[in-house]
Amino acid sequence: MRARWLAALLVAAGLGLYAAVGAPMQRQATAAADEYKRARDEARDIRARLARLERRDAAHARAAAALPAAATPADTVRAVRRVVVQTLQEAHVSGVRLGVSAARAPYAARVRLSAAGPFAQVVSLAGLLARPERGLVLEKVRFSPRGETVSLDLEGVTLGASP
């Protein structure tokens, strides 16, 4: 009889332990796991936004540092013109019209360019001008048909030193 009582006591103790401690703890663990998932998703969103902002600032810094610091606006204009002309030499386009002028801070210079050529060449030229090492930040780009060729009209700016 004592063995049966002892067995009943052990079963009751086991059930009591599980009901009083184990089950609530299991619920808390599940809730904590859910909270972890939420926190992890939130952290992922924050990291993605942060990565984009860091890329953005890095791009700004690269654009601002691409051209050597010039002493005068005229030096800036000459330097920017040189870069654009070098880029034009890599592209097989014709009918080029180029205007480079000094611009107010935070810009250093403003570039206006139009050219014509086969579609692939004018698209390639736009891509070359947008490369980070050129330091040109695009504002407006327009491709339109001109007879058998395509004309490109591009406006962009170069940046001064970062504020």
Partner 1 sequence: MRGDRDFSSRPRRRRPAPADLGLLGVGLLTLVVAGYATGTSWADLKRARQHVVDVRRQSEAAQARLRALESRSAPTAALATQALLSEEAAPPRVLADLSGLMPADVKLESMSLTYGEAIAIQMQVSSRSAGSYDAFLQRLEGSPLFDDVVPGEETRDGGVSASITARYRGPR
- Give the residue, chosen from 73, 102, 124, 149, that forms a contact with partner 1 under the rule CB under 8 A: 124
Selection from 96, 100, 92, 95 nearest residue 134 by Cα = 100
Stretch that binds partner 1, among 40-48, 73-81, 84-92, 94-102 (CB under 8 A): 40-48
- Residue closer to partner 1 by CB (options 9, 69) is 9
Give the separation between CA 84 and CA 77, rounded to whole angstroms.
11
Residue 106 in contact with partner 1, rule: CB under 8 A = yes
Specify burial of residue 122 (Cβ count, 10 A radius: 0-12, 13-18, 19+).
buried
74 binds partner 1 (CB under 8 A): no
CA dist 82 to 75, 78, 85, 87, 90, Å? 11, 6, 5, 9, 13
Site residues (vs partner 1, CB under 8 A): 3-4, 6-11, 13-15, 17-18, 21-23, 25-26, 28-29, 32-33, 35-36, 39-40, 42-43, 46-50, 52-57, 59-60, 62-63, 106, 123-124, 126-127, 130-132, 136-145, 156, 159, 163
